[in-house]
Amino acid sequence: MRQTTRQISRFGTLKSLLQRFAFLSLIGLTFALILIGKADTVLVERARDAVTDAVTPVLRVMSEPAAVVSNFIENLRELAAIREQNATLREANTRLLQWQSAAQRLESENISLRGLTGLVPEPGASFVTARVVADTGGAFAQSILITAGQSSGVRKGQVVLAGEGLVGRVMQAGLYSARVLLITDINSRIPVQVGEAGNRAILAGDNSLRPRLMFLDNKTAAAPGDKVVTSGDAEAFPPGLPIGQVARVDEGVVELEPFVVRDKIQYVRVVDYGLTGILAEQAGTK
Amino acid sequence: MQATVLERMDLAARRFVPFGVTLVLMLFAMTPTHIPGLSHVTPMYALMAVYFWSIYRPDLLGYGATFGIGVLEDLLSGTPLGSGALVLLVCQRVVFNQQKFFNNKPFGIFWLAFALVAAGAGLIRWICVGLAAPSGFTPVGQMLTSTLITVAIYPLVGWLLAKAHVKLLAES
Closest residue of B to A31, CA-based?
Answer: B82
Q: For A124, what's the count of Cα atoms within 13 Å in the CB-facing half-sphere?
A: 2
List pLDDT tens digits, range A167-192.
999 998 999 999 999 999 888 899 99
Which residues on chain B are in Cβ contact (under 8 Å) with A278? none
B108 in A contact zone (CB under 8 Å): no
Q: Do A55 and B126 touch (CB under 8 A)?
A: no
Min Cα separation B101/chain A (Å) = 17
Q: Which of A145-149, A152-156, B98-102 is the least confident region?
A: B98-102
Name every chain A residue with its beta carbon within 8 A of the beta carbon of B32.
Answer: 63, 66-67, 132-135, 144, 263, 265-266
Q: What is the mean pLDDT of chain A?
A: 84
* Chain A to chain B Cβ contacts (< 8 Å): 176
Read off the pLDDT band of A276 (50, 70, 90): low
**Which CATH number is B17's domain given?**
1.10.1760
Q: Is B72 on the interface with A (CB under 8 A)?
A: yes
Would you call B86 and A262 a contact, using CB atoms and an 8 Å cutoff?
A: no
Q: How confident is the model at residue A283 (pLDDT cuts 50, 70, 90)?
A: very low
pLDDT confidence of residue A286: 34
- Least Cα separation, residue A263 to chain B (angstroms): 5
This complex has an ipTM of: 0.86
Q: What is the CA radius of gyration of chain B?
A: 17
Per-residue pLDDT band for B88 (boundaries 50, 70, 90) equals very high
Within 13 Å and on the Cβ side, how many CA atoms surround B161?
27
Smallest CA–CA distance from A38 into chain B, residue: B132
The beta-carbon neighbor of A27 closest among B31, B41, B89 is: B89
What's the DSSP call for residue B133? S
Q: How confident is the model at residue A282 (pLDDT cuts 50, 70, 90)?
A: very low
Length of chain B equals: 172
Kindly list the residues from chain A whose CB atom is less than 8 angstroms away from the CB atom of residue B33: 66, 135, 263
Contact criterion met (CB < 8 Å) for A34 and B70: no
In whole angstroms, what separates CA A3 from the centre of its chain? 65
State whether residue B134 sits within 8 Å of chain A by CB: yes
Which of A32, A58, A140 lies closest to B129 in CB terms? Answer: A140
Q: Which of A191, A196, A158 is nearest to A280 (CA)?
A: A158
DSSP summary character for residue B29: T
B99 touches chain A (CB under 8 A): no
pLDDT score for B2: 64
A27, B86 in Cβ contact below 8 A? yes
Which pLDDT tens digit goes with each residue over A246-267?
988 887 788 899 998 888 888 9
- For residue B44, which phi and psi values (nearest 5 degrees)? -90, 80
Q: Does A76 touch chain B (CB under 8 A)?
A: no
Identify the three-state secondary structure at position B135: coil
Q: Is the pLDDT of residue A284 over 50?
A: no
Q: Which domains does chain A have, with CATH numbers?
A: 41-80+124-286 (2.40.10.340)
Predicted pLDDT of residue A94: 92
Which residue from A243, A259, A236, A159 is spatially nearest to A193, judged by alpha carbons? A243
**Is residue A7 very low, low, confident or very high in pLDDT (cuts 50, 70, 90)?**
low
What is the pLDDT, as a whole number, of residue A277? Answer: 55
Residues whose CB falls within 8 Å of the CB of residue A237, separated by 6 or more in sequence, listed in order: A159, A166, A169, A190, A191, A230, A231, A273, A275, A277
Per-residue pLDDT tens for A16-65? 788 888 889 999 999 998 888 878 778 888 899 999 999 999 999 998 88
In chain B, the number of structural domains is 1
Task: Return left, alpha or beta for B57; rule: phi > 0 is left, psi -120 to 50 is alpha, else beta.
Answer: beta
Which residues span the domain enclosing B164?
5-169
User: How many angstroms separate the CA atoms of A275 and A283, rounded?
Assistant: 14
B-contacting residues of A 39-58, CB under 8 Å? Answer: 44, 47-48, 51-52, 55, 58
pLDDT at A219: 63
